[in-house]
Amino acid sequence: MKQVRVRFAPSPTGPLHIGGVRTALYNYLFARKNGGTFILRIEDTDQARYVEGAEEYIMESLEWCGIVVDEGIREGGNFGPYRQSDKKAIFRQYADILVDKGDAYYAFDTPGQLESLRSEAEKAGKTFIYNAEKRDGMSNSLSLPEAEWRDKLDKGEPYVIRYKMPANEDISFEDLIRGQIVVNSSTLDDKVLFKSDGMPTYHLAHIVDDKIMEISHVIRGEEWLPSLPLHIMLYRSFGWDPPAFAHLPLLLKPDGKGKLSKRDGDKMGFPVFPLFWPYGDTAKGYREDGYFPDAFINMLALLGWNPGTEQEIFSMDELINSFSIDRVGKSGSRFDPEKARWFNHQYLQHRSNTELALEFRDLLRTRGYHDDIVKLEKLVALVKERVSFVKDIWTQTDFFFKAPDTYDQDAVKKRWKDDSPKLLMELKLLLTDILDFSASSAEKAINEWTIKNGYNTGAIMNAFRLVIVGSLRGPHLFDIIGWIGKEETLKRIDKGITVLSKY
């Protein structure tokens, strides 16, 4: 195989969809697996769709995911510029080469004229296609006398450069995922290669850039497959060998019906972007939702590629070792938000208590609470198995930090009895006298007291839990009171009795 050089080439038109992150990931894995180079190229030649902030967002997303760029705007490299708008003039030279060869031509038809031809055709139930059949009737350098079109150029009339697609030719090419494909050129139109605003279109720009950057493999989304015959023709016209192509299957909505779109996330309550997008319509991000980047990447890697084994948990290094294009499927992969959470749960179980305690401490600080790491580690250990996100540690342990503001109505109805205040008052006296207020000594004292008085342990413990936690949830109650300490325990008993006796 020749030196592997692959590129991820997003257009900065908004936040990067997770489908785009997956494309970047597969390119990255392929590059690393084959000792190649991973390039980030910004394709910003469509000025109408350019969105401020998107370029930064793309770079930050890749960084968060652990996808390391070898050559790009920030990293530099010998094949730049890595932003297409920085080399407009270069693209123009290549458009001219095709015009000079007779494989492309100037077209002067105005947007208004094209629009009315399109709507006329539509009324007749047809589609207007600017192609070999139609081009003679249009206003271009193939249909007009030379003097006339040269005059238009001299006068500065707006024009575009179109590719002259042959009338009836079988174009055959190979896709690494889909195999051999043959398309007849009669189904294709004379695509615009260079626009009247002085910018190349994607079709021309990416071919030229892939050539300049010595790209060996183009790995991109399936939506580009219909354009591939045109791209193959462009390679032929330039006399260049095309790179190898691999078109990745779509990411589908959770119900499998259609492509996962940018709007699906906010509609269905899960993120479709790696990071929160702060401009325009707000959109959730995996990072802000509390996903670990390695869990997110692991989940994404398996949406379209399968390792051929039962293994599901892969570190980035393991993905690099196992990845191959042969194991990328042809059919779309259904995105499963539950499975995404499952991955995060698995990764959280493998994080050390210290790591989790450190992250949890940051979250606590934002809520105005703090505690030392050793104590937080113990807390993490108590609830770890039950949580999928660091933020869940808070919902599972909030009562360690603050007295309940409200009490669970159902639990109160079921578990708060007429004699509960009396029993808890007695319990309070007992706890007041305990000198060493640890979980185990409090437990021992309470047990002895219940047995001695012939009390019902269940009834006491339920009422006790209600005043301490506010509901019947949470870990072992003695662990909770051992943590919050005597003073706080006594305060919560008082508060609980006062509030619940009024119910």
Does 55 sit near ligand GLU (CB under 6 A)? no
- Rounded Cα distance between 503 and 498, Å, is 10
Retrieve residue 336's tokens.
Answer: 């499963």
221 or 254: CB nearest ligand GLU: 221
10 binds ligand GLU (CB under 6 A): yes
- Find the residue with minimal CB distance to ligand GLU: 220
Least distance from ligand GLU to the Cβ atom of residue 37, Å: 16
Render 105-126 in DSSP notation, one character per residue: EEE---HHHHHHHHHHHHHTT-
Asked if 43 touches ligand GLU (CB under 6 A), the answer is yes
Write down the least CB distance from residue 131 to ligand GLU, Å: 23
* Amino acid letter for position 332: G
Cβ-based nearer residue to ligand GLU, 9 or 468:
9
Burial tier of 133 (Cβ tally within 10 Å: 0-12, 13-18, 19+): exposed
Among residues 9, 138, 232, 248, which is the contact residue for ligand GLU, using CB under 6 A? 9
Stretch that binds ligand GLU, among 5-13, 262-270, 294-302, 327-335 (CB under 6 A): 5-13
**Nearer to ligand GLU by C-beta: 70 or 392?**
70
Write the CA distances from 11 to 94, 161, 191, 204, 227, integer angstroms.
Answer: 21, 22, 19, 15, 17
If one asks whether residue 61 binds ligand GLU (CB under 6 A), the answer comes out as no
How far, CA to CA in Å, does 178 sit from each of 246, 247, 260, 326? 8, 8, 21, 10
**Closest separation between CB of residue 34 and ligand GLU, Å?**
18
Catalytic, out of 262, 384, 491, 495 = 262
Q: Quick one: three-class SS letters along 132-163?
A: CCCHHHCCECCCCCHHHHHHHHHHCCCCEEEE
Residue 72 engages ligand GLU in binding (rule: CB under 6 A): no
Q: How far, rounded to the nearest angstrom, does the alpha carbon of residue 452 sit from its chain's CA centroid? A: 60
Which one of residues 50, 79, 128, 224 is an interface residue with ligand GLU (CB under 6 A)? Answer: 224
Helix locations, 306-372, DSSP H: 316-322, 337-350, 353-366
Note whether 220 binds ligand GLU by CB under 6 A. yes
Interface with ligand GLU (CB under 6 A), residue from 5, 191, 206, 492: 206
Q: Which stretch binds ligand GLU (CB under 6 A): 6-14, 90-98, 146-154, 350-358?
A: 6-14
Nearer to ligand GLU, 215 or 348 (CB): 215
Stretch of 4-12, 122-130, 177-185, 270-278 contacting ligand GLU, by CB under 6 A: 4-12
259 catalytic, yes or no? no
Residue 326 CB-density burial (10 A; 0-12 exposed, 13-18 middle, 19+ buried): exposed
The distance of closest approach from Cβ of residue 11 to ligand GLU in the complex, given in angstroms and rounded to an integer, is 4
Cβ closest to ligand GLU, residue 20 vs residue 404: 20
Q: Is 173 in the site for ligand GLU (CB under 6 A)?
A: no
Decide if residue 217 touches ligand GLU (CB under 6 A): no
Taking each helix axis as running N to C, give the angle between helix 373-383 and helix 353-366, from 0 to 180 degrees, rounded to the nearest 10.
110
Residue 249 interacts with ligand GLU (CB under 6 A): yes or no: no
Q: Is 103 in the site for ligand GLU (CB under 6 A)?
A: no
**C-beta of 221: minimal distance to ligand GLU in Å?**
6
Q: Closer to ligand GLU at the Cβ: 202 or 342?
A: 202
| Minimum separation from the CB atom of position 252 to ligand GLU (A) | 18
Closest-CA residue to 213 (of 339, 334, 82, 121): 82
Within a 13 Å sphere around the CA of 439, how many CA atoms are in the beta-carbon half?
A: 9
Count of residues in contact with ligand GLU, rule CB under 6 A: 8
C-alpha distances in Å from residue 469, one per residue of 129, 168, 488: 70, 77, 12
Question: Which helix (H) or strand (E) segment is 296 a member of?
Answer: helix 293-301
The 431-470 site mask, x for binding ligand GLU (CB under 6 A), equals: ----------------------------------------
Q: Are 450 and 480 in contact (CB under 8 A)?
A: no
- Tokens encoding 133: 């059949």
Q: Does residue 44 interact with ligand GLU by CB under 6 A?
A: no
397 binds ligand GLU (CB under 6 A): no
Does 229 participate in binding ligand GLU (rule CB under 6 A)?
no
Q: How far is CA 375 from the centre of its chain?
A: 34
Q: Are 277 and 283 in contact (CB under 8 A)?
A: yes
Among 4, 5, 6, 11, binds ligand GLU (CB under 6 A): 11
Query: Catalytic amino acids?
Result: 262
Residues near ligand GLU (CB under 6 A): 9-11, 43, 202, 206, 220, 224
